[in-house]
Structure 1
């Protein structure tokens, strides 16, 4: 064979081998660097290290520090991590960045096709940029529910059945009526755990995002929340203003409130708070009057990843592998976004002692109604600005028009490029 023809054959063979799926035996052993806002599951990490003969270097950063540091390393192009985990509230910023994440739909089309087929749209949409490129994948489904105190349910509506609780709390009008009834009972309990979580849920009722085409949008639903919040303050409807108040956390054991609006991940907190107390087993799950999702984690592979195929093998294990997602749910109580895995768990019927024998996965599955994902890269800050002015108005320190002006000024100050009318 002629030397030139031999050279071409070698080049072609090398190209074909590189295009195949990752094979730990065919490439140099590597190190995966991961930035994450919480502690990575050590068992998963160690199993992957052993299987692929690699080292995983994990850096834990809170969401704010992670974004600051990621901005810095992307500018210098030094010490850029291979994999980044992001909470839902900051995912859009990095998904829309041209310099951050690899286009997974181009690099791994078959896997992303499976992902889009088997995961709900509100999960897949958050990791897809405006050009339709999948930049990050989510694996949790933080379905919003109404946790309720069973003993108070029996006193208020005569039953602790979740369907009857859902019916009795199915509108604002019914919630205010229940609050009047609770005050007449004079049992020392409020209707709702904390007003901030209620307000966050109500804001997810919006049909439009906070920002459209670089313009601030204040929806009708957001405006409704001014007077709703004021009435809730006047009627003393909640045990605490914010979820960090001790009067809220102790309420799960002391029965000082009836309803708590939070996603799936709150169940683990309730279990920890009520363990070995009278509150254990005294909580149930009902459908909320506003279907919503709140929270979750998305994972992206940076464009600077030293070995993107190896990085994808890890991400695929964590986010797409059905057996891993099933086992993760069994160990940690996660609610998988993979619909096939969720159906498997629901079919097994798993009653929980924390919920007095109710099956949490069946309850979560029942509450899972598909809604458009309206999150933007601005939501974390804008939500906080809006919650601040809601309180200013609700407690009577600031008129509504002035509170709204304060909100717009804060948004414009934080994001001068946005159009704010």
Structure 2
């Protein structure tokens, strides 16, 4: 429990309050026709079970709330099906990437074996979202539906809460051996992989480079977690830190010192934020809204993550630096913000170059700037090597995750826009 509270910096009562609400609405919305295909409620219920094991939530409350949400959501789907019939799916299914042949597979199952559809079928995302609707559209008696609905909702809740609980038990067993932060990184990676596969299976919105972004985010997250563990436990990387700290002073020369101080001064997080603000205004003026939002959330989120990590690790800086800095050392804010800013510059503008040589030169210069800024922090002995590596890893993780998140949000925005256009078109054809 202390690890989770420490990382997200929230008191347990607030965590438990919002935890129950999130579980309730996730279970409720996941069973809604069409919309339920987009809600990973099952995963959230599993996480609820994990929080039970970590003594943040109560097991009886989590089972009751998730079961209640599932049962109520199914009842809502039943009522929609009973009122609007199959025409509802025919009309709106295409906006949620639901092919009619997939939906038709559920109809005979519900009509022939309602119990199997509502109890066993609840463990399949497509059946879970549409079996109650089909039951309503098929005019299944309400009492018969409610009996199977209650049994299915309660069974589903118990099974997935217990899966999360058992996962929490494995945390207590494995964390002392793997390390708390590596275990947490493994958990986050598993969630990212699950969500990526879940969303892509439902909507097929990701391209090949998004898979590379996912793999990069997982690799950088593991590196970041491993560096935290090594720093806290004084393991291998800290020996490299000390060796480099003691030997880098042999490179010091007056001219080179001035160059490195200049580089580090013009690349501070404050300067990076100012540069990002200027770029943001330019992008907004050119109406490149997607990149504007990506830049805004990328830089702001990176700054918040870097500050929070400093407060968690609380590592002292080297005492023999050329500059005197009193703030915490791990991770390097210069490295984090530089990687985010210059990587975003590459991501935003790399397709604007028709000449391949100029394009590669543009990318190379930005990468070189990131490396120079990181090196300047080590050269000046204001950071340990692991601080800079962690800053780069943190920035890379946040950037790649944000690219994936924005892809999902853009897809949802386009779907919503198409739905609104369709409804407006329908409304214009209504008689006045």
Give the TM-score normalised by structure 1.
0.24
Higher Cα radius of gyration: 2
Q: Taking CA–CA contacts closer than 8 Å with sequence separation of 6 or more, which of the two structures ends up with the larger relative contact order?
A: 1
More strand by share: 1
Give the TM-score normalised by structure 2.
0.23
